[in-house]
């Protein structure tokens, strides 16, 4: 069967770099760090006392007060970013069929803050089970998809995707497949995460996954630097409006770019560590290229998973060299996590948006906080250190990898009629 072409017609972003899409892009291209000391809870006894938080966030500036109280912080982020994306796409009740508009949305963890609060309240009481009646619907990670659909009246396919830090890339791929198979005209997709809490920071500290550079938070996320010591936790939401090309043209929608293909694989190796040779990463990039009908030389930019962990950065670099060969030396590579931190289940969506803007504006955002070359990394690779670079970007690939060995990659290319 002939597959539909799928384009991006709307974007929304609520991030540590800013609470709108233009603020997010401004921060990325100017190499701004979103990291600072944590304000959401007392971190004085924690090994890590910093993160990339969404700054000065007041949900009642965007949502009705009663509505805001009924959803977790991660869902508040999702609703606000989706509002921006839907508006950006120019979607109205008059120009779409709500039965043909769906929501496929992701989170790696969901309402962890709500879960923590309710358990603490119960444990500090007399044992009488007094729980908030919204406890369960606030906590579950599919509720963002449900809330977005109810807010807009979208009655098409609706579900959540979870694959740890690959979650929102998998959601984008599912949305892409749903449209190209003709099961919907439009899908609102992306991801949201908000787990900067005692449980979140404490849990990742116990795994020794987080940077402990408490004396200099803004430079703590330093992918590919010799002295990297773990990732920096981030939070936020990224939302994309994916649309069948013919439908977008018929309603005169603005088109950012085209989704070319996607891939998904497993390492089948370890619950948290990557395969040391980057086998799963290699396979997923090859899978995405095959799906897109593209060759390595068709790609100009890779937004890497690049979390700033000692093992992960090396494994991903090995995979890139294996897939791209000599073409790897003609690529721009960057990790925007150096600025946003690792937004977990929202990372894939935010990094896909970074790729979309790189393709549309021909600017590659940098990998900031590079101070010392790592002798284990190939010095001929262009990691776009510290400063954005202008170049023609016809196609970009975004990598995301998650605990459990989940790998997902999506390819974005310039739209050509």
Q: Domain holding 346: CATH number?
A: 3.40.47.10
Dihedral sign of CA atoms 78, 80, 83, 85 in order: negative
Q: Is 52 a catalytic residue?
A: no
pLDDT of 1 reads 77
> 311: Cβ–Cβ under 8 A, 6 or more apart, which residues?
273, 274, 276
Q: Among this protein's residues, is 247 annotated catalytic?
A: no
Do residues 266 and 117 both lie within one domain?
Answer: no
Are 43 and 164 within one domain? yes
How many distinct structural domains can be found in the chain? 2
Selecting among 275, 305, 370, 406, the annotated active-site residue is 305
CA pair distance 295, 290, nearest whole angstrom: 8
Indicate whether 256 belongs to any domain.
no
My answer on whether 329 and 380 are in the same domain is yes
Q: Do 278 and 359 sit in the same domain of this protein?
A: yes
Same domain, 184 and 301: no
Does 398 reside within a domain?
yes
Asked whether residue 155 falls in the same domain as residue 280, the answer is: no
Residue partners of 209: CB distance under 8 A and separation at least 6: 230, 231, 272, 309
| Cβ-contact 78, 236 below 8 angstroms | no
- Joined tokens for residue 391: 């170049």
Same domain, 305 and 376: yes
Identified catalytic residue from 35, 75, 165, 343: 165
The reply to whether 336 falls in a domain is: yes
The beta-strand segments (E) located in 270-344 are 301-303, 332-334
Quick one: tokens of 5? Answer: 């072409």
- Measured from the Cβ of residue 260, the count of other Cβ atoms closer than 10 Å reads 24
Q: Is 305 a catalytic residue?
A: yes
Residues contacting residue 212 through CB under 8 Å, at least 6 positions apart:
47, 48, 229, 230
Please check whether residues 26 and 156 belong to one and the same domain: yes
User: The domain containing residue 210 runs over which residues?
Assistant: 7-250
Domain end call among 205, 225, 250: 250
DSSP-based three-state secondary structure for 119: helix
Question: Is 255 within a domain?
Answer: no
* 155 in the same domain as 104: yes
Please indicate, yes or no, whether the overall pTM of this predicted structure exceeds 0.75.
yes
| Structural domain includes residue 2 | no
DSSP tally for the chain: helices H, then strands E: 13, 14
For residue 407, list its beta bridge partners.
265, 401
Are 265 and 361 within one domain?
yes
In terms of Cα–Cα distance, which of 178, 169, 417, 410 is closest to 294?
410
Helix, strand, or coil (residue 186): strand
Both 336 and 314 in one domain: the answer is yes
**Are both 242 and 284 inside the same structural domain?**
no
User: Is 109 within the bounds of a domain?
Assistant: yes
The one catalytic residue in 52, 75, 257, 342 is 342
- pLDDT < 70 regions, the chain: none
Q: Residue 196: which of 168, 232, 161, 162 has the closest Cα?
A: 232
């Amino acid at each position: 069967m002939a597959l539909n072409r799928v384009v991006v017609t709307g974007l929304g972003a609520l991030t540590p770099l800013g609470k709108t899409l233009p603020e997010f892009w401004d921060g990325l291209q100017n190499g701004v760090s979103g990291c600072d000391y944590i304000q959401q809870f007392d971190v004085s006894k924690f090994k890590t006392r910093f993160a990339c938080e969404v700054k000065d966030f007041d949900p009642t500036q965007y949502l009705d007060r009663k509505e805001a109280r009924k959803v977790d912080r991660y869902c508040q982020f999702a609703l606000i970013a989706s509002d921006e994306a839907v508006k950006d796409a120019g979607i109205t009740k008059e120009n779409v069929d709500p039965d043909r508009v769906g929501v496929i949305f992701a989170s790696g963890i969901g309402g962890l803050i709500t879960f923590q609060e309710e358990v603490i309240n119960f444990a500090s009481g007399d044992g009488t089970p007094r729980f908030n009646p919204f406890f369960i619907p606030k906590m579950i990670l599919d509720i963002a998809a449900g809330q977005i659909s109810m807010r807009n009246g979208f009655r098409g396919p609706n579900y959540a995707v979870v694959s740890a830090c690959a979650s929102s890339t998998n959601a984008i791929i599912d949305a892409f497949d749903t449209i190209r198979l003709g099961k919907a005209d439009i899908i609102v997709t992306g991801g949201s995460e908000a787990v900067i809490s005692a449980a979140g920071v404490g849990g990742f500290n116990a795994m020794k996954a987080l940077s402990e550079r408490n004396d200099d938070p803004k430079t703590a996320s330093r992918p590919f630097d010799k002295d990297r010591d773990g990732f920096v936790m981030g939070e936020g939401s990224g939302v994309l409006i994916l649309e069948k090309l013919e439908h977008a043209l018929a309603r005169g929608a603005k088109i950012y770019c085209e989704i070319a293909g996607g891939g998904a694989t497993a390492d089948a190796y370890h619950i948290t560590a990557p395969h040391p040779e980057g086998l799963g990463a290699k396979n997923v990039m090859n899978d995405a290229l095959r799906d897109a009908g593209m060759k390595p030389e068709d790609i100009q930019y890779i937004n890497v998973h690049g979390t700033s962990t000692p093992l992960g950065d090396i494994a991903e670099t090995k995979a890139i060299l294996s897939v791209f060969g000599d073409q790897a030396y003609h690529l721009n590579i960057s990790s925007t996590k150096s600025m946003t931190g690792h937004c977990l289940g929202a990372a894939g969506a935010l990094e896909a948006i970074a790729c979309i803007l790189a393709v549309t504006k021909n600017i590659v955002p940098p990998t900031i906080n590079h101070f010392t070359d790592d002798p284990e990394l190939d010095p001929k690779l262009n990691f776009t250190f510290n400063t954005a670079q202008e170049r023609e970007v016809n196609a970009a690939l975004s990598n995301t990898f998650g605990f459990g060995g989940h790998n997902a990659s999506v390819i974005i290319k310039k739209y050509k009629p």
